[in-house]
A and B are shown apart, each in its own frame.
Chain A
Amino acid sequence: MRTLRYVAMVILVVVAAVSIGAPLILSASYETQFRDAPNSRPSHEHWLGTDALGRDRFSRVLHGTRISLLLAPMAASIATAFAAFIGGVGGYLGKGWERVATTTIDLVLSLPWIFLLITARALLPLNASPTITIGTTFFLLGALGWAASARVVCAHAVDLRNNDFVLQARALGVPEWRIAIRHVVPNIQPILVAQFWISVPIFILAEANLGILGLGVPEPMPSWGSLLRELEDLALVPGELWKLAALGLLVLVVSSFQLLMPRSEVRTR
C-alpha cells in the first residue's frame, strides 16, 4: 500500500508539473485553430490529434488539467474554510452553538447538491467572461460543498473541548481566545488538511459532471469536464481511443488522490 501511495504521489507531482509548465512545452495554444486539419489523427505535430474545430487536443488536455488542478484546490480551500468556521466554532463553543452548527450541517447535507449547483450556475449572466465563469463555478462548488467536512471538524472540536489539556488550561485561567489559538487550532489543523485533500477529487469530479452537461467551464477554455463533452460522439471512440485521453487522465488523477488519503477517509458526494 505504501508503494502504491508513493506511485500516486509521483503521478500527481508529474501531472501537476507538466500541466503547469504546459505553455513552455507546447508550441500551440489551447485555442489555436489548425483549420486545415480538423479531427485529425495523432501525428508528430499533434500528439493526440485535433478536435472538430482543429484545435490541438494534447494542448487542450494539458491546459484543462491545469485549470482543474489549480481551481479544484481553490474550491477545496473555500469549503475547508467554511467547514473550519462552522464546524470548529460550533464544536468548540458547545451548547447552543454546537446544536446550531450540527443542525445547519444536517440541513445543508440534505440539500440536493447538484440541483442547487445547476440552479446557481444557470444564474450567471450569459455575457460573463470565461475567467469569471470558471472562478464562479469553482467558488460555487466550494461554497456548497463544505458540510461533510464541517461535520468531521465539529466532532473533532467537541473532542478537543472536553480534552484534559483544554480543561487544565481553562482551570489555570487561560482566556478562551488564547486556548482556541494556542491549543485548539493547532490540533484541528491536521483534520483541516485531511479534509482539504479529500475535497479536491470531489470537486474535480463535480466540475467534470457539470462540464459534460455543458454547465462547467465555457468555451474556448478547456477543463476536464468540457473535454469530456467530446465523448458525446461516442460512436467514433472505439476506433479512436486517443479521444479517451482526458477521461483516462482524470481517472488517473482522482485515483491517485483516493490512494493518498487514508482508507477510512474516502468520501464522495
Chain B
Amino acid sequence: MRRKLFYHLMKIFLTALLGTVIAAVLVRLAPGFDSDAQQLDPRLSHESVEALRLRRAVNGNIMKFCIYYLAASARGEFGKSLTFNRDVRELIAERLPVTVRIVISGLAVGWFFTVMVALSAAALRFGVYDAIAGIVAGALLCIPTAALGLFFMMWRAPASVAIALVVFPHTFRYARELLVSKYETPHVMTARAKGLGPLRVLVFHVLPVCAVPLVAVAGASVTIALGAAVPVEVLCGIPGIGQLAWQAALARDLSLLVTLTMLVTILTVGANSAADLLNSSQPRATA
C-alpha cells in the first residue's frame, strides 16, 4: 500500500511536471515572448532598460526558463495575470471553488443517471428500453460539449446538468456492459435460480463485484467533467477556471494559462490516483 501511494505521488508529480514543462515550452516559443513593452517606455533610463533586458535574457534558454518557472511555482509564486492585472494565485482561489462545485454536482448527477439507467437496463433486459438507452447515450456522444452548453444557456438550465450529460454517455456504456456481464456470471445465475429476490441479488452479488471497476471509471470521469467545464462555463457565463482559461487564451495571457494547465493536471491525476488507491484498499469480491 505504501509503495502504491509512493507510485501515485510520483505519478502526480511527474504528470504535473510534464504538463508544466509542455505549457512553459509553448509559452517560451510563443511569438513575441522576447519583447517587453516596458523596454519601450521613454521615461526609463538606459540602465533600467538594460536591467529589464538582462532579466528577460535569463529566460532565453528553454531549460533555464522551465527551471526558473518550476522553482517559482514551488514557492507558490505563479506571477501576475496580464489580462486581469491581478495575482494568478488570487484569481485561482476565487474561481476554483465555482468549478469544483459545478464539476462535483455534474459528476453526481451524471453518475446517478448512469447507475440508474445501467442498472435498470441490465436487470430488466428489456430490448426496447435497452435500445432507447443506448441510442440516447450514443446521440449524446455525437453532440459537441459546447453545443450542449449553448442549449443549456438558452434553456437557462443548470450548467451541472450539461456536464452530467457529457459524463453520462461515457460512463453508461461501460457500466451497462459490466453489469450485464456480472448478471450472467454463474454465481449470480445460481442465486437467481435459488429464488433470491432481485434486490438481494443486486446488493449482495452484483454490486460488490462491480464496485471496483466502477470506482476506477469514476476517477477517469473527473477528467471528462473538467474538460466539459471549459465550454460549459464559457457559454453559460460561469466564472470558474474553465472560463478563466478561455479568457486567458483569447488575451494570450500565457503565464495564467500555464498555471491553470498545471492545476488541472494535478486535479485530474489526483482524482485518478485516488480512485486507484481506493480500489486497492477495498477487499476484492470474488465472482
Contact = CB atoms under 8 A, between A and B. Distances in A.
B279 to A, nearest CB: 16
Contacts of A235: 154
Interface string B261-285: 1001100110010000000000000
Contact of B150 (A107, A232, A254): A232
Chief secondary structure at chain B's binding surface: helix
Interface string B141-157: 11111110111011000
Contacts of A215: 246, 249-250
A113 B227 contact: yes
A180 to B, nearest CB: 29
A118 B245 contact: yes
A122 B257 contact: yes
Given A115-B230, A228-B147, A231-B150, A110 B272 contact: yes
B187 to A, nearest CB: 25
Interface residues of A, number: 40
A103 B32 CA distance: 34
A111 interface: yes
B130 to A, nearest CB: 13
A118 B272 contact: no
A114 B147 contact: no
B195 to A, nearest CB: 34
Chain A at the B interface: SS class:
helix
A113 B19 CA distance: 10
Given A122-B249, A208-B144, A111 B265 contact: yes
Interface string A250-269: 11001100100000001010
A119 interface: yes
A220 interface: no
A52 interface: no
B95 interface: no
A123 B246 contact: no
B146 A212 contact: yes
Given A118-B245, A120-B26, A213 B11 contact: no
Contacts of A213: 146, 230-231, 234, 246
Interface in B245-262: 245-246, 248-250, 252, 254, 257-258, 260-261
A121 interface: yes
B18 interface: yes
B47 to A, nearest CB: 32
Contacts of B15: 107, 110-111
A250 B231 CA distance: 18
Contacts of A108: 18
Nearest to A104: B18
30 contacts: A110-B11, A110-B15, A110-B223, A110-B265, A111-B268, A112-B226, A112-B227, A112-B265, A112-B268, A114-B227, A115-B257, A115-B261, A116-B19, A118-B245, A119-B23, A119-B261, A121-B249, A201-B142, A205-B142, A208-B144, A212-B149, A213-B230, A215-B246, A228-B144, A232-B235, A234-B154, A250-B142, A254-B141, A258-B141, A266-B141
Interface of A: 106-108, 110-116, 118-123, 125, 201, 205, 208-209, 212-215, 225, 228, 231-232, 234-235, 237, 247, 250-251, 254-255, 258, 266, 268
Which 8 pairs, one residue from A and one from B, show the smallest C-beta to C-beta distance? A212-B146, A234-B154, A122-B249, A208-B144, A112-B264, A254-B142, A118-B249, A123-B30
